[in-house]
Amino acid sequence: MSYNKLTPEEAYVILNKGTERPFTGEYNEHFAAGVYTCKQCDAPLYRSEDKFPSHCGWPSFDDEIEGAIRREVDADGRRIEILCANCGGHLGHVFEGEMLTRKNVRHCVNSLSMNFVSAEELARQQGSALKTAYFAGGCFWGVEHLLQQQPGVVSVVSGYMGGHVDNPSYEQVCSKQTGHLETVEVLYDPAVVSFETLAKLFFEIHDPTQEDGQGPDIGPQYASAIFVHDEEERGVSECLIAELENKGLNVVTRVLPMAPFWRAEEFHQDYYVRTGKVPYCHRYQKRF
């Protein structure tokens, strides 16, 4: 079997069981959607949804792709080494009992042992026809965090939509002078999840009856809205609003035509994943 050619630094880690210096690896603070693969043989190892910020200095995962990882007692007789099950390349070590996540496991992996394939690239490789949907429901941190947990969602990006200023900054939007709403762009696979399912979830993770705000966040930039591509999406959105109103809710969510979407600053992307915090004004409430 032929393997990828390794640099001396990669060979030191993968073949000679070395360790890269903490906080120096490419994937230590990396939280994009996709799959991490073996640097030596390209075998899939970890999914991005299982990566978490452990602040230990190396990429950390609390789960593995089934059958991807082999465990062996380390040479020191104390730690458990993890290796690629396909090629035997050294990845790092696995630890249990630290209570850093609900699964209580930490795969501590060297960045040099891995490559990353983005969700978009995976979709292209698989020939999937992805679509986008745009939802505004208060602070985009919480909307992004909850929508990206839906199966079929490839990625969620926080940004601004519906205003009259090109490429606005967060400060400009917060000034309430640009007309933008904090909005998320959802990239999804329609073969797995429908626009209607996403729209229903959107209505269930924020309060569609609160006008110009969400929880303690007050202002026109926090208004509830769905930006639609076509009449089909408009019809689905309006039917869901009518269904909620029939249940007695006074829905203020607007259904708006498509507008330019401007990606927010990197500080706002994957905010809750990076910080380990939890949403303060968004929670799931079944409405349908």
**Residues that are catalytic:** 139
* Phi, then psi, of 108 in degrees rounded to 5: -95, 105
Q: What residues contact 12, with CB distance under 8 A and at least 6 apart?
A: 18
Rounded-to-integer distance, Cα 257 and Cα 185, Å: 14
Three-point CA angle 195, 196, 202, nearest 5°: 90
Selection from 261, 286, 244 nearest residue 132 by Cα: 261
Rounded-to-integer distance, Cα 104 and Cα 112, Å: 24
* Sheet of strand 254-257: strand arrangement: 254-257, 224-228, 131-137, 181-188, 153-161, 261-263
Rounded-to-integer distance, Cα 160 and Cα 9, Å: 41
Rg for the chain, CA atoms, rounded: 22
Query: How many other β-carbons are positioned within 10 Å of the β-carbon of residue 17?
Result: 16
Given a contact cutoff of 8 angstroms between Cβ atoms, the answer to whether 86 and 43 are in contact is yes
